[in-house]
Every structure is written in C-alpha cells, then in structure tokens.
Amino acid sequence: MADRILEVKDLRTRFHIAEGTVYAVNGISFHLEDGETIAIVGESGCGKSVTMLSILRLLPIPPAEITSGQALYLGRDLFRLSEREMEQIRGKEIAMVFQDPMTSLNPVLTIGRQIGETLRVHLGLDKEAIHQRAIGLLDQVGIPDPAHRLNDYPHQFSGGQRQRAMIAMALACLPSILIADEPTTALDVTIQAQIVELIQRLKEQLSMAVIWITHDLGVVAEMAERVLVMYAGFIVEEARVDELYEDPRHPYTMALLAALPRIDRRRDKHLRSIPGAPPNLLVAPKGCPFAPRCELAFDRCWDEMPPLFQLGPDRRAACWVDVTTGKPF
C-alpha cells in the first residue's frame, strides 16, 4: 500500500451567521494516498468545498469555526501549524484550482505577473528565471505562443485558457497534492474534456495526488480511482470507482445514479427523481440526513446517524440498511 500523504480525521466545520449556526461539515474522515486521484462528489451545499477550504485553512474565522479534527499532511497536523508554516505548504505543496477562473484571477495584473508571484514567493527566483519558468508552465498547460500570452490580462484569455492559466499557477511549485474544486463546471463539455485530459496528463508527469471536487458523476467515472460521496456534511459512501457505479451501497448514491439521464442509452421511461430537497443545514443534524428522502428509511434512521460501516477494502457506507436486501443489518 502506498503511503498516506493526507489523512483527515473527524473534521467538523461550522459557520456562525446571523440566522444561527450552519452545520457544514459534520465529522468526516478520509485519506489520500501518494499519487492517487480521489473524487469528492455531492450536490451544492454538501460540504465538499468547505472541507477543502478547511484543510487549507482558507476559511475566514469567524464566521467559520473548525470545532474538531485533524488534517495530517505527511504526518504533520495542518491545524497546529503557525500561519507562517502554513504558507510554506499552501500553494507550494498543496495547491488548489478553483471553479471560476474569472473571479480567482486578478483582472488588473497580467497572467505572467500572477504566475510569477507564486514562483517569487515560494521559490525566491530572480526575474529572468521567473520569466523563463512562466513560459515553460504556460507551454506545459497547452497555451499557444506562451511568451506573448504572458503579457495578456485575464480578460484576453478564453474561459478554457483562464482555467489552464490557473492550473499553470497551481503547478508552479510542483505540488504533491492538487485540489481541483469543480474546475470544469463553468466550461463547455468540449473544453471540459480538454481540461480533464490535461490534469490527467500532468498528474502522470508530475506524480501528484489529485482531489477532484465535483457534482458531476460523469466526470468522476472518467478520472477518479476512489470516490467519496457527501451529503449534508457527511461522507455517506466511499468506494473504488468501478464498485461505486456497479454496486452502490448507499440509498443516496443509488438514487443519484438512477436520476441521471444517459447519453449512451436509449430512453426507456421517466427519470427516477429523488423526492424533496436536501436538508436545512441550520438545524443541528440528528439521525441520517437523507432519511426524509429515502425509500428504505425506518425508525432508527430518524434518530441515529449510522457510522460508516466497513463493507470491504476501501469500501464504506453509512446506512443502517443493507441495500442489497433492503433490510436492516
């Protein structure tokens, strides 16, 4: 077994806002192996992005509060590092690519300057070396004529090119973990295919581990080795990618897969929709958060959150019911 490069234990993140407390992440644990690609999937508000921002300590505190947990990067707990030590890791060893490249890039600085900043801060290179390195990076992410494009501003780049530039910035210091937070959601499918291929190629070349955050089960099938499914701040299922799609073990995963229309199949009937809506996160979780929408729920589900039962190697599901039989364990 490869080494665990990142291990998150019992992470809980809350937000204290005027309306009350938002229970965004409710005690999740997972790990990432060196060179592995995992995907975290879930719908908006399920806590997938907050988890990553918590680990990188990018959340404003307050209103955010991390009430418990550890995030061990190569054995060091990121939550116990000083801000200075954290700065040495963030952007250098763990880098992140965000969903919307237009709001994540500074509109009044050239692309070259923004890539250069990472190199200057973390590697302390001189001007000429930064320039050469930035050209190399843009070239690596497939931007034609990189020497000229360095002088362009973000608005002169197309959506796909901006995301490539963001990836170039993230890769500047050869990170060992790349966190990609819905990097293709704002893009068209043809551009999405380009970006997915690019990240997969770079991952091989640079032997990075990748955490891919998305709501798109299609993209997950394409690039992840292992998948975590999140719902209302909990991990509800974890599996290797083939197992998850062939044999999902949590009613939420099953419902989600059944609700998807398929481009590779002829239509048969209506889509299987999931009734209701995700729970209000302003209410402290009690019982299984999916119970109100679940066909298999029984008394216990409403009162007690099931733990993640180990169902096999790399295989866990948080459900009181054995979905293969429809009966409680």
Partner 1 sequence: MVDIQTTNSFDTPELVQVRDLKKHFPITKGLIFERMVGSVRAVDGVSFTIRSGETLGLVGESGCGKTTVGRTLLGLYPATEGEIFIDGHNMRKARGEELLAIRRKAQMIFQDPYASLNPRWTVNSIVGEPLRVHKVFKSDKERSERVKELLSLVGMSSQLVNRFPHEFSGGQRQRIGIARALALNPLFIVCDEPISALDVSIQAQVVNLLEDLQDKFNLTYLFIAHDLSMVRHICFRVAVMYLGVIVELAERNEIFENPLHPYTQALLSAVPIPDPKKARARRRIILTGDVPSPINPPSGCRFHPRCPIAKDHCSRLVPEWRQITEGHWVACHEV
What is the binding site for partner 1 (CB under 8 A)? 43-44, 158, 160-161, 188-194, 196-197, 215-222, 241-242, 245, 255-257, 259-264, 266-267, 270-275, 277-278, 293
Report the nearest approach of partner 1 to the CB of residue 194 (Å): 6
Q: Which one, 7 or 222, has the nearer CB to partner 1?
A: 222
Report the nearest approach of partner 1 to the CB of residue 98 (Å): 19
For 296-327, give one letter per residue: b (16+ CB within 10 A) or e: bbeeebeeebbebeebeeebbbbbbbebeeee
Helix runs in the chain, H state only: 48-55, 83-89, 101-104, 111-123, 127-140, 146-149, 159-171, 189-206, 217-223, 241-246, 251-258, 299-303
Residue 12 CB neighbour total at 10 angstroms: 17
Report the nearest approach of partner 1 to the CB of residue 22 (Å): 16
Q: Which one, 188 or 303, has the nearer CB to partner 1?
A: 188
End-to-end CA distance of the chain: 30
Report the nearest approach of partner 1 to the CB of residue 304 (Å): 23
The count of C-alpha atoms lying within 13 angstroms of the C-alpha of 12, restricted to the half-sphere facing its C-beta, is 10
Q: Which one, 154 or 175, has the nearer CB to partner 1?
A: 154
Report the nearest approach of partner 1 to the CB of residue 321 (Å): 19
CA–CA separation, 326 and 323 (whole Å): 5
- CA angle, 204 then 124 then 160, to 5°: 45
Q: Bridge-partner residues for 97, per DSSP?
A: 180
Report the nearest approach of partner 1 to the CB of residue 69 (Å): 26
Whether the upstream peptide bond of residue 63 has omega within 30° of 0, thus cis, is yes
Helix runs in 126-261, H state only: 127-140, 146-149, 159-171, 189-206, 217-223, 241-246, 251-258
Q: Which one, 191 or 323, has the nearer CB to partner 1?
A: 191
Q: Which one, 81 or 221, has the nearer CB to partner 1?
A: 221
Report the nearest approach of partner 1 to the CB of residue 229 (Å): 12
Q: Which one, 109 or 260, has the nearer CB to partner 1?
A: 260
Q: Which one, 204 or 242, has the nearer CB to partner 1?
A: 242
